Structure 1
Amino acid sequence: MDALITEAKNGDKEAFVRLIRMNKQSLYKTAWIYLRDEQDIADALQNTILSCYENIQRLREPKYFKTWLMRILINECKDILRQKNHAAELDDFAEGVHCEELNLCEWKQLLLCLDKESRKIVELYYFDEFSVKEISALLEMNSNTVSTKLSRARAKLKKVIRR
């Protein structure tokens, strides 16, 4: 993947397109978490891809491409939310959530017991498969804070499930 990123930084348009295709599902899911509106998601994705294309030479470390790309997307989502002057709700999960014991509706209800920030961390960790380090970069939080919030959210979810 580093070679592909280097090619894109050197102006290879096809390499850039391949990078975006490799990350399109994560981009969509993250935009959905913030915006939950197809038109807003499309705008955020379009602006993110354009910004990434125009600024890819600024990326210092190829290994952080996905984190950098997601940070651009999150900033775009926040801009859209500011323009619409409303707060994002994270009551719905991204598509494709699977669990043998709970269906999607039950997961939605279960996550409602968490505060918004913890819900966002749980979704990014379990459903978008980001590492604690990546989440801390995306949300501009200390890694220890993310770990603590994730641990507390797990404990709370276990407690609710056992009732």
Structure 2
Amino acid sequence: MDMLLVKRAQKGDTEAFIQLIENHKISLYKTAKSYLKNEDDVADVMQDTILSAFEHMKDLNSVRYFKTWIIRILINQCNDLLRQRKRCVLVEWAEDVRTVTPENDRGFYELLEELPENCRTIFLLYYGEGFHTKEIAQILEMNENTVKSRLKRGRKKLEQVLCFE
């Protein structure tokens, strides 16, 4: 379904593009929220991401990688904002998770709080969004082995947390 929408959007169909954004807005929000604390910042980077994606739709080489492509744009927007502000942002997951996640997903996002910050986005993309390690490596512009090792490290941390509860 998405591949057909992407092809239509690349031909200038704005309705198809809007539907694509609708299909992926929760993923975009969750990813932005893993980088940014402030809701206004999240809204800004999402808006910038959507505008950039719309302007560069024709640059997308493979329609099947639309989600990877738009998440990469979003992450670049987040990193640009953080660089501009020259500050380290800590994510406050527990407060905001309740507003965007269904009841059955809350436990997953609360567990993410227990992870080191450099593992959270990887876990979100792998377990929350279903990306493969190779795709995550491309999105985050890092070595695939780094992604795998952070997943392994994060699993060990969560195992420790769950065994003590």
| Code of the aligned partner of 1:96 | T
2:78 paired with 1:73 = no
SS in 1 for 2:12: coil
Offset at residue 161 of structure 1 (A): 2.3
Offset at residue 108 of structure 1 (A): 5.7
Distance 1:62 1:78 in 2: 25
Offset at residue 127 of structure 1 (A): 2.8
Offset at residue 103 of structure 1 (A): 8.4
| Code of the aligned partner of 2:161 | V
Which one of the candidate residues 88, 95, 101 is aligned to 1:96? Answer: 101
SS in 2 for 1:60: coil
Check conservation: 2:60, 2:66, Cα contact below 8 A: yes
2:48 paired with 1:43 = no
- 1:138 aligned partner: 139
Stretches of structure 1 that go unaligned for 5 or more consecutive residues are none
Report the CA distance shift for 1:40/1:123 in structure 2 as closer, same or farther (over 3 A): same
Distance 2:123 2:108 in 1: 17
Check conservation: 2:31, 2:121, Cα contact below 8 A: no
- 1:29 aligned partner: 30
Offset at residue 119 of structure 1 (A): 2.5
| Code of the aligned partner of 1:146 | V
Equivalent residues in 2 for 1:46-57 (5 A)?
A: 46-57=47-58
Check conservation: 2:31, 2:124, Cα contact below 8 A: no
Stretches of structure 2 that go unaligned for 5 or more consecutive residues are none
Distance 1:49 1:103 in 2: 27
Distance 1:43 1:4 in 2: 25
Say how many residue pairs are matched.
159
- 1:151 aligned partner: 152
| Code of the aligned partner of 2:22 | R
- 2:4 aligned partner: 3
Report the CA distance shift for 1:159/1:99 in structure 2 as closer, same or farther (over 3 A): farther
Check conservation: 2:37, 2:92, Cα contact below 8 A: no
